[in-house]
Amino acid sequence: QVQLVESGGGLVQPGGSLTLSCVVSGLLDYYSIGWFRQAPGNEREGVSCLSVRDGRSLYSDSLNGRFSVARDSAKGTIYLQMADLKPEDTAVYYCAVEVQGDYDCVPLLRSPAGMDHWGKGTLVTVSS
């Protein structure tokens, strides 16, 4: 079965850095893989999306260049590197994959419902 397992969340001070990992298993391939987050009382929003076909990554405009993604194909792992963290970054962070090729990263980043498989999430808390 398909499994996505996030890790690396925790408590970090404002201005600090944190790297999240997502291990994908039970899946031969996927078209896109992305990171999403949801804060209490907020809708789930897109953070980043990586298109496997062309290797391009898209980011939410609100991040102001503070986040970046990387993929290790051999390990089946994608990373989200976060820097200059702010209290408003506090949320549960999820990784997800799109396997049918119905959408590319542009609509997927705006519409998380288009993703096909989700992890259970990892909590990031930014507080002093």
DSSP 77-114: EEEEEE-S--GGG-EEEEEEEE-S-S--HHHHHH-GGG
Shortest CA distance to 87 belongs to which of 6, 13, 33, 2? Answer: 13
Q: What is the pLDDT of residues 17-37, one digit of tens each?
A: 999 999 999 998 899 999 999
In 3D space, the residue among 97, 98, 93 whose CA is nearest the CA of residue 120 turns out to be: 93
pLDDT tens digits, residue range 46-93? 999 999 988 999 999 989 899 999 999 888 999 999 999 999 999 999
Residue type, 54: D
Where do the DSSP E strands lie in the chain? 3-7, 10-12, 18-25, 32-38, 45-51, 57-59, 67-72, 77-82, 91-98, 117-118, 122-126
Please report the pLDDT score of residue 73 as a whole number. 86
